[in-house]
């Protein structure tokens, strides 16, 4: 079986915003406690943050991390997480039916971000709270001093402002599961008023308004239109969320889900354009896809806690999906879709980063390790920076639940002009056949292969564990060639590959 690809230097989508490789940490399960924060761990630093986790995160070069939620933020009082730790209150978290000690708050999270080399993206509570609390939080975080809230920050040990530029205006407010759920008009008005107030403080903030929680919401895509009609002149991004599942154990349909993702992005992009034109606006609003990942493996085991049958435990194991090799292919497909839509998707956050539906897992007092999905995320984050190429792909395909003629070969390409490199990320959806791929490199100087990484496994359900951390891991590829203006590479059945060419 064969497939062909044309990559032309001048046929591009957009420069990729580095923040499309962002991440998310919520006060949920063991994401914070026993995830990034475990003061008794052998690797813990002076702030109680796990050094082994910090290294795995730092290696990913994550540009920004969204915090503190998620559903958690819709009933969160940010003031509970500042000041002396022994004076902070324990609260009930209605979203996940757990208790929150508030041992970690914005100060601790900011210090951790500095340690791993990332930026903060903060969310304000527009569920149980509103404009006043949002502006107070912003003043506490960003004002130099001389006011009540900024002086309180200084008193709490941070003289210089945190200078956070990215702010989410609530979370999933279209969802009836959300504390303070609102309809589109209610939320749109509140978000617009909050955005106005925040911009009165700093007109250069980047503000993200809530879009649909997923593409199957009954209110989608009218939600986006109504919310943007209220907020278009006051925000920079609208957020989308999507999680991916294979409950039916149908690999072919599972690996075609990125068609649904692509339609979701394009529908919201067209809604943005509709509102822009209706308002005769000169501004552009983009998409922040600030929650995405595979999520279904842990659903059954989570029910006891989420249904309230375990009381109000602190930091229990929740949403701890153990990812398999099949999920490597899915995450590769999702990232390829973001790259191909980089003209409108400017921010994205894998949800989440540690323990909770995450590429990194930990044991309390024990090791931290990379889950299977860590690797496609790593390759895209490290090598997928530059300009997305608008590739012409000719591949045999199959009919799936989500689209006709789903191509067996899914590929994205990135040109980093500064480094003089091309990076291609390829997935073979075929379960039994290898595919010979030929990429015509047009407008590029003759190149050479500088890196070739392959991920395959005989068992789609193979996983990494604390005892066997490299059961599913990349290996050096062989056989890829760059000569006579083309790149040739063989894709084994059910495989993920990255091929980099010096040009």
- Average pLDDT, integer, range 43-72: 98
Mean pLDDT of 312-335: 98
Report how far residue 406's alpha carbon sits from residue 395's, in angstroms, rounded to the nearest whole number. Answer: 9
Is pLDDT above 80 for 30?
yes
The Cα–Cα gap between 81 and 89 comes to 8
The number of beta carbons lying within 10 Å of the beta carbon of residue 64 is 22
- State the CB neighbour count (10 A cutoff) for residue 201: 13
Give the confidence band of 319 by pLDDT, cuts at 50, 70, 90.
very high
Q: What is the mean pLDDT of residues 79-96?
A: 97
Q: What mean pLDDT comes out for the span 323-337?
A: 98
User: Annotated catalytic sites, by residue?
Assistant: 172, 291
Q: Would you give the end-to-end CA distance of the chain in angstroms?
A: 28
Task: Please state the rounded mean pLDDT for residues 80-106.
Answer: 97
CA dist 107 and 84 (Å) reads: 11
The reported pLDDT for the residue numbered 225 is 98
Tens digit of each residue's pLDDT (9 = 90 or more) over 245-297: 999 999 999 999 999 999 999 999 999 999 999 999 999 999 999 999 999 99
Average pLDDT over residues 86-93: 98
Q: Quick check: helix, strand or coil at residue 325?
A: helix
* Listed residue (264, 259, 180, 276) closest to 225, CA to CA: 276
Q: Which of 268, 339, 319, 314 is nearest to 21 (CA)?
A: 339
* Cα–Cα dist 452/448, whole Å: 11
Task: Assign 501 to helix, strand or coil.
Answer: strand
Could you tell me the two tokens for 442? 């047009």
Provide the pLDDT confidence category of residue 322 given band limits of 50, 70 and 90: very high
pLDDT at 447: 84
* CA angle 447–449–451, rounded 5-degree value: 140
Shortest CA distance to 174 belongs to which of 156, 186, 158?
Answer: 186
Tens of pLDDT, residue by residue over 180-237, are 999 999 999 999 999 999 999 999 999 999 999 999 999 999 999 999 999 999 999 9
Could you report the per-residue pLDDT of 285-318, keeping only the tens digit for each?
Answer: 999 999 999 999 999 999 999 999 889 999 999 9
Confidence of residue 445 (pLDDT cuts 50, 70, 90): confident
Q: What pTM did the predictor assign?
A: 0.98
CA gap 28, 45 in Å, rounded: 22
How far is 432 from 1, CA to CA, in rounded Å? 11
The answer to whether 288 and 208 are in contact (CB under 8 A) is yes
Pairing of strands 237-244, 286-294: parallel
Would you state the pLDDT for residue 446? 74
Span 355-382, average pLDDT:
98
């Amino acid at each position: 079986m064969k497939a062909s690809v044309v990559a032309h230097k001048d046929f591009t989508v957009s420069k990729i915003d580095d923040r499309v490789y962002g991440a998310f940490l919520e006060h949920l399960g063991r994401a914070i406690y026993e995830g990034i924060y475990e003061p008794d761990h052998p690797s813990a630093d002076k702030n109680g943050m796990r050094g082994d986790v910090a290294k795995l995160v730092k290696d990913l070069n994550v540009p920004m991390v969204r915090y503190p939620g998620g559903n958690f933020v819709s009933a969160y009082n940010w003031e509970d997480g500042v000041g002396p730790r022994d004076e902070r209150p324990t609260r009930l978290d209605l979203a996940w039916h757990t208790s929150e000690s508030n041992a970690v708050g914005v100060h601790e999270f900011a210090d951790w971000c500095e340690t791993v080399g990332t930026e903060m993206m903060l969310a304000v509570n527009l569920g149980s709270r509103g404009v006043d609390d949002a502006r107070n939080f912003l003043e506490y975080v960003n004002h130099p001093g001389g006011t009540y809230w900024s002086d309180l920050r200084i008193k709490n040990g941070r003289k210089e402002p945190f200078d956070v530029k990215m702010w989410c205006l609530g979370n999933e407010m279209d969802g009836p599961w959300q504390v303070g759920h609102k309809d589109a008009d209610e939320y749109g008005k509140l978000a617009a008023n909050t955005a106005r107030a925040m911009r009165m403080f700093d007109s250069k903030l980047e503000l993200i308004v809530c879009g649909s929680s997923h593409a199957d919401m009954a209110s989608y895509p009218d939600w986006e239109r109504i919310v943007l009609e209220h907020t278009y002149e006051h925000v920079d991004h609208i957020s989308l969320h999507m999680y991916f599942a294979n409950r039916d154990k149908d690999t072919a349909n599972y690996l075609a889900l990125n068609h649904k993702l692509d339609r979701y992005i394009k529908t919201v992009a067209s809604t943005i354009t509709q509102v822009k034109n209706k308002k005769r606006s000169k501004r552009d609003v983009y998409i922040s896809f600030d929650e995405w990942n595979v999520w279904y493996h842990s659903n059954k085991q989570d029910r006891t806690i989420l249904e309230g049958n375990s009381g109000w435990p602190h930091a229990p194991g929740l949403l701890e999906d153990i990812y398999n090799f099949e999920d490597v292919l899915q995450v590769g497909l999702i990232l390829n879709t973001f790259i191909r839509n980089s003209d409108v998707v400017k921010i994205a956050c894998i949800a989440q980063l540690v323990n909770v539906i995450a590429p990194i897992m930990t044991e309390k007092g024990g090791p931290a390790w990379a889950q299977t999905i860590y690797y496609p995320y790593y390759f895209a984050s490290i090598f997928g920076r530059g300009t997305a190429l608008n590739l012409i792909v000719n591949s045999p395909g199959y009919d799936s639940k989500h689209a006709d003629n789903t191509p067996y070969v899914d590929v994205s390409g990135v040109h980093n002009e500064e480094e003089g490199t091309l990076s291609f990320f390829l997935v073979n959806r075929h379960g039994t056949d290898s595919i010979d791929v030929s990429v015509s490199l047009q407008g590029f100087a003759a190149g050479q292969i500088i890196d070739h990484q392959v991920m395959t496994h005989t068992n789609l359900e193979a996983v990494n564990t604390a005892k066997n951390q490299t059961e599913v891991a990349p290996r050096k590829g062989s056989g890829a060639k760059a000569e006579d203006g083309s790149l040739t590479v063989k894709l084994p059945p059910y495989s993920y590959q990255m091929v980099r060419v010096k040009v």
